[in-house]
Structure 1
Amino acid sequence: MLSASLMPGNGAKACTNIIVTRGASKDNSCIVSYAADSHVLYGELYYHPAADWKPGALLNITEWDTARPMGSIAQVPHTYKTVGNMNEHQLIIAETTWGGREELLDTTAVMDYGSLIYVTLQRARTAREAIKVIVDLVNEYGYASEGESFSIADRDEAWVMDLIGKGVDLRDGKNLRKGMVWVARRVPDGYICSHANQARITTFPLDDPENCLYAPDVISFAREMGFYEGADEDFDFSAAYCPYDFGTVRACDARTWSAFNTLCDGVFTYEKDGVTVTEKASDYYDYITGENLAHRMPLFVRPARKLGVKDVADMMRDHFEGTPLDMTTDIGAGGNALPYRWRPMGFSYNGWNYINERAIATQQTGFWFVAQARHDLPDMIGGLLWFGTDDAATSYLTPIYSNTDAVPECFREGNGSMLEYSSTASFWINNRVTNHCYKAYNIMAPTVREAIDKFENSQIDEKVKAMDAAALEAYNRILPKAEKKASSSKDYFAPVRKMLTDYSVSTAQNQFDAWVALEQLLVVKFIDGNVKAQDADGNFIHSKYSERMPAGLVQPGYTDKWKEAVVRDHGDVIRER
């Protein structure tokens, strides 16, 4: 039977996060990646300007997954600007859903997990503040969703937080247990963390508030509910509130393993009881394949090298390539090494149940990002959200500064939907590109990946650095005047934000136009299973007699794995006599 986290649903219940601390990054920034994976979620960039609110103002809460009205909460006097999952103070919050014990779902609560993220981004400046805001909101209004893992980072620290509600007391049908049980652990500097729809925090220090925070009743409530009987120091949050099984490990924790495996060059190095431990990633094959569910992976590991945005972005494009779970090599990949399996993930045949692999990159992504909280730049400039839509493996990330004052039209909320095609929307052009590739993946996807790498590398290596320098020069020029007249209502930094906004919008729109052209190229170059030749400048090679007739046309055919399967199934009929 498929686990709850594998079953189809409306929400973003199949997501992946990677967390990189300052000491593990190339540029002294905290990095968080996120893929919002859902079959019904439309890819767009949420934007809320900073605002002041009158006493008594209320905020209506709408469930992020379903648009269902949940109720209202008291508004705060001032809310911060948010762009996607980042705010103007470089705070980042992302998530993955893990379900957990069904009896802990609170059907009377107001705050769903998505609203909890976006409301917190409007109210908190730092990761520690965010944890407090999350806890306070849930304690006052209840938690209406399943179990979640949150990635929470600012310019200094990165945290991972596991949480789940307390359910409804069925003795009288009223919620006598409003709130949640939770644990938050700071990712040690120089380390990385990852989570993918499975609660990751097991045991945790009980007296280290600098690095670990938790609900005061996180252990006693588990005892009350019959989830745990042992000593406090042996309490395992994940085992108590999110019991793992074959499905959650194979389809969820396996993605975390793959991220660690690649970013650590196949070696897990971590601290345990004050001792440095070094293990091979392959030692955990028994766990990720479901053979030994007790062999849990470490929560934090050291990467093999300092990581940058491109390292993390490319990790989000992973399909287990080069591992025993490689989705491009078995017959399920068809004749052109397609690293996807259409849903449902599980199927039964001849009395046996099977589950296809679920990689980090997946076809049903709404939007995804790699966010940077850059310690060495002021908040005005430091927050950078590399944002994209649809399948990460065949879509690009474009830089959006978190202090932008506008959203590019291609990402604008309301520009299309899952039921409404828009020719000006990033989500739809990326879907067109990737669905072309699904027909002949190993032939077509490399063309798309080449275009992705060219754009992202030029932004990372050159253009963003130039924009940072120009914005910082303007910021430093304005800063003395702004500090001198701090009581003034004048917006001294408006010119800086305009620079950042113009850059974010124009870069996104120009790349959108480039992707429209790429989609047209794919149609022409790969039509009908043929591949047209191009010269070094990208021009199609034509025949000696006509510029309208291609030359050098090739037909790549199929993989040997596919040929073997066809011969085994149908060879007696199609074999030459």
Structure 2
Amino acid sequence: MKKLLIATAALSALALSRVEACTNFIITRGASTDSSVMVTYAADSHQLYGALYYRPARDYRPGETLKIYEWDTGRYLGEIPQVAHTYQTVGNMNEHQLIIGETTYGGRPELEDSTGIMDYGSLIYITLQRAKTAREAIDVIVNLANTYGYASSGESFSIADPDEAWIFEMIGKGCKMVNGKNVNKGIVWVARRIPDGYVCAHANQARITQFPKDDPENCLYAPDVISFAREAGLYNGTDADFSFCDTYAPLDFSGMRGCEARVWSMFRRITPGMDRYLDYALGKNPENRMPLWVKPAKRISPKEVMDFMRDHYEDTPMDMRYDIGAGGHHLPYRWRPMGFEVDGVKYLNERATATQQTGFWFMAQARNYLPDPIGGVYWFGVDDAGTSCLTPIYCSVTEIPECFREGNGHMTEYSPTSAFWLFNRVTNFAYLRYDMMSADILKVVNERENGQLKKVQQIDAKALSLYKTNPEAAIRLLTDYSVKTAQEMFDKWVELDRYLLVKYMDGNVKKERNGKFLDNGYGRNIPASPDFPGYNDEWKKAVAGSTGDRLKEIEIKK
């Protein structure tokens, strides 16, 4: 998602500006346990409502146009000609198993184009309607941005299909007006195919440095990506030394500590030796740059990929659970703004992969060994990935579960049938005593996700058998399963919401046995005396230290 754009020289200001940010992980077929291509995305924003976008395939008459509204703001930007046929899209995946995710890196603010009408969100969702493969998607994005002008700042895209995965980075060319027209309209860009068996990631910092100029099978780029940089006074070295990110989005402390650190935290889970880049992740050594992609020590399962999105830097030097900012219950979050100042000294809280202000998130799988309607599974969730649950939605569904539908509530209107509001109720309550409540929530999350991963294999087999003779019946089966499973998850969270309130009401913890709350033994529906867990030791010491003798017990001599 977008963040404020500030000149790269203003490091402290930039560090405070990255308050809305997203994270993408990309796993190639050869790196996954089930030979699927997987992409994750968290749409992190303080203003985005979590809903599952659905656009059925459609035919259009010649001359019809498409109105463009900026995804972040809803601002009308203009209109473009519509194509004759658009493909069905479910969230950030289409009927051909094409997946697109993004993170905004901003880059040089002077390269923004105020005359453009294609913002990054529109590029995603229009491209999904018009492209079948990752390579086609790259062409569509480039053509749209160059034809109609690019209305956003620097952007990294994850673009994947059942066979291959790419990281694509782009930025505008700024405004150079001649006779009322911007002669710099369009983008400069580079796209690199991730080698099979490897894993890539990006998190609001451009990551492509030098790239091969003579390998179109694995690397594509704008013909003027280097010459434009020279003309704009951004680069004066050789073609061989040209680095896309160092030229168009120079690295700074915030880019390392607030962004690249999220990539590092995931890479270290799957690849030995990543701790040698710790000084880079901490923002201390830009020369010790991490690789663009890494080869995992072993193949990665879909459940592991889901859990990567729940990372809070646990057991690293950036772990947020043990300083006073975590409060009395080891909360791994900090409220915005990220930066603060004390006695003229500036400080910056961590920005982990899992964050409170998430509209929606997903883990999408593209599987080339199944027909498209069955092969594409879009695991979708809303709110904070740390304590929310993903549920499978096949890319061929003809109906969206009510709890995820657009129009079912919005950011300033509560809906009792909306998953976004329900998950926010549960998670915001858990923030009060995270060390205890999050364990209860994650127990349910893991049971459901592990159960559905097994169930999907059974549904795949049933649908494939049916698809051979009756494709329409197979799609009905997949739709019914997707809708029913999502509603069952919603119902489970209604139950969980009530359970947590009863168990943790008023700072107490009611006693349980065999899944039932204990009473006091007198048959009058009065609970057994509850536990009083109090606060963690860090909090007690901080309170004692900040109050002096005010709370100190004294002994009264008799």
TM class, shorter-chain normalised? over 0.9
- Kept in 2, the 8 Å contact 1:5–1:14? The answer is no
The amino acid across from 1:406 in the alignment is E
- How far apart are 1:380 and its partner, in Å? 1.5
Corresponding residue of 2:531:
554
Deviation by residue 1:3-61 (Cα, 9 ceiling, x = unmatched)? 5475267xxx4000000000000111100000000000000000000001111111111
**Partner SS, residue 182 of structure 2:** coil
State which of 137, 143, 156 in structure 2 corresponds to 1:149: 156
State which of 451, 463, 471 in structure 2 corresponds to 1:471: 463
Distance 2:34 2:548 in 1: 57
The amino acid across from 2:206 in the alignment is A
Corresponding position: 1:440 with 2:433:
yes
The amino acid across from 1:500 in the alignment is L
Distance 2:231 2:346 in 1: 35
Corresponding position: 1:344 with 2:337:
yes
Give the TM-score, by structure 1 length.
Answer: 0.93
Distance 2:456 2:28 in 1: 21
Alignment of 1:8-47 (within 5 A): 13-47=20-54
Distance 1:552 1:208 in 2: 70
**Partner SS, residue 469 of structure 2:** helix
Alignment of 1:49-64 (within 5 A): 49-64=56-71
Distance 2:507 2:357 in 1: 25
Distance 2:371 2:456 in 1: 15
| Residues 259 and 172 (structure 1), Cα distance of their counterparts in 2 relative to 1, 3 Å cut | farther
Distance 2:68 2:111 in 1: 21
Alignment of 1:202-213 (within 5 A): 202-213=209-220
- Kept in 1, the 8 Å contact 2:321–2:331? The answer is yes
Distance 1:355 1:226 in 2: 32
Corresponding position: 1:127 with 2:134:
yes
The amino acid across from 2:30 in the alignment is G
Structure 1 gap ranges (5+): 268-279, 479-492
- Give percent identity, aligned residues only: 60
Distance 1:435 1:2 in 2: 30
Corresponding residue of 1:286:
279
**Partner SS, residue 439 of structure 1:** helix
- How far apart are 1:161 and its partner, in Å? 0.4
| Residues 53 and 329 (structure 1), Cα distance of their counterparts in 2 relative to 1, 3 Å cut | same
The amino acid across from 1:508 in the alignment is A
State which of 100, 117, 124 in structure 1 corresponds to 2:107: 100
Deviation by residue 1:397-424 (Cα, 9 ceiling, x = unmatched)? 0000000001000000010111100000
Corresponding position: 1:564 with 2:541:
yes
Alignment of 1:322-333 (within 5 A): 322-333=315-326
Distance 1:98 1:150 in 2: 11
Corresponding residue of 1:506:
484
State which of 483, 505, 525 in structure 1 corresponds to 2:503: 525
Corresponding position: 1:89 with 2:99:
no
- Kept in 1, the 8 Å contact 2:15–2:348? The answer is no
Structure 2 gap ranges (5+): 1-10
State which of 324, 327, 330 in structure 2 corresponds to 1:334: 327
Corresponding position: 1:320 with 2:313:
yes
- Kept in 2, the 8 Å contact 1:3–1:247? The answer is no
- Kept in 1, the 8 Å contact 2:15–2:339? The answer is no
Alignment of 1:173-188 (within 5 A): 174-188=181-195
- How far apart are 1:575 and its partner, in Å? 2.1
- How far apart are 1:303 and its partner, in Å? 1.4
Corresponding residue of 1:270:
none
Deviation by residue 1:337-368 (Cα, 9 ceiling, x = unmatched)? 00110000011111111110000000000000
Corresponding position: 1:138 with 2:131:
no
**Partner SS, residue 512 of structure 2:** coil
The amino acid across from 2:298 in the alignment is R
**Partner SS, residue 230 of structure 2:** helix
Distance 2:178 2:12 in 1: 31
Corresponding residue of 1:262:
269
Corresponding position: 1:417 with 2:410:
yes
Corresponding position: 1:164 with 2:171:
yes
Distance 1:260 1:62 in 2: 36
Distance 1:196 1:61 in 2: 26
Corresponding residue of 1:381:
374
Distance 2:165 2:147 in 1: 26
Moved more, 162-171 or 435-444: 162-171
Corresponding residue of 2:3:
none
- Kept in 2, the 8 Å contact 1:532–1:551? The answer is yes
Distance 2:159 2:329 in 1: 39
Corresponding position: 1:238 with 2:248:
no
Distance 2:532 2:296 in 1: 41
Distance 2:256 2:503 in 1: 41
Corresponding residue of 1:534:
512
Distance 2:207 2:241 in 1: 15
| Residues 6 and 136 (structure 1), Cα distance of their counterparts in 2 relative to 1, 3 Å cut | farther
State which of 231, 256, 260 in structure 2 corresponds to 1:253: 260
Deviation by residue 1:522-574 (Cα, 9 ceiling, x = unmatched)? 100001111112222x1111121135122252111211111221222124222
**Partner SS, residue 181 of structure 1:** strand
Corresponding residue of 1:486:
none
Distance 1:386 1:552 in 2: 42
Deviation by residue 1:287-336 (Cα, 9 ceiling, x = unmatched)? 11111122211001011221122101111001000101001111110110
- Kept in 2, the 8 Å contact 1:3–1:248? The answer is no
State which of 474, 483, 488 in structure 2 corresponds to 1:496: 474
| Residues 6 and 156 (structure 1), Cα distance of their counterparts in 2 relative to 1, 3 Å cut | farther
- Kept in 2, the 8 Å contact 1:8–1:344? The answer is no
Distance 2:478 2:524 in 1: 44
**Partner SS, residue 516 of structure 2:** coil
| Residues 8 and 192 (structure 1), Cα distance of their counterparts in 2 relative to 1, 3 Å cut | closer
Corresponding residue of 1:488:
none
Deviation by residue 1:503-538 (Cα, 9 ceiling, x = unmatched)? 1101001110110110011100001111112222x1
- Kept in 2, the 8 Å contact 1:255–1:359? The answer is yes
Distance 2:426 2:190 in 1: 41
- Kept in 1, the 8 Å contact 2:177–2:183? The answer is no
Corresponding residue of 2:8:
none
Distance 1:169 1:389 in 2: 41
- How far apart are 1:375 and its partner, in Å? 1.7
- Kept in 1, the 8 Å contact 2:15–2:253? The answer is no
Distance 1:546 1:18 in 2: 54
- Kept in 2, the 8 Å contact 1:20–1:30? The answer is yes
- Give the length in aligned residue pairs: 544
Distance 2:15 2:415 in 1: 31
The amino acid across from 1:135 in the alignment is V
**Partner SS, residue 209 of structure 2:** coil
Distance 2:111 2:224 in 1: 14
The amino acid across from 1:393 in the alignment is G
